[in-house]
Amino acid sequence: MNLNALVSLRRKNKITQTQMAEALGCGQSDYQRMESGKYRIKAVDLPVIAAKLNISLNELVNLLFCSQKSA
């Protein structure tokens, strides 16, 4: 999962971790753990994240799962 792309897009949209956490109904520390990969992002959260980032669910899925950089 390309979590760096998620962080970059959130920052580009000037959305804080706290704002994203509020949209998801969780605490900022829990959201930070999602971005760092310590907690898994639940499928039910994907539409909320996409809406907050003002992108489609399909775009978010592509961003997270299809834009991996090769090592």
pTM score of the predicted model: 0.88
15 three-class SS: coil
The whole-angstrom separation of Cα 27 and Cα 66 is 28
CATH topology of domain 3-65: 434 Repressor (Amino-terminal Domain) (1.10.260)
* 69 — pLDDT class (breaks 50, 70, 90): low
Rounded to 10 degrees, the C-alpha dihedral 47/49/51/54 comes to -140
Domain locations along the chain: 3-65
pLDDT tens digits along 17-67: 999 999 999 999 999 999 999 999 999 999 999 999 999 999 999 999 986
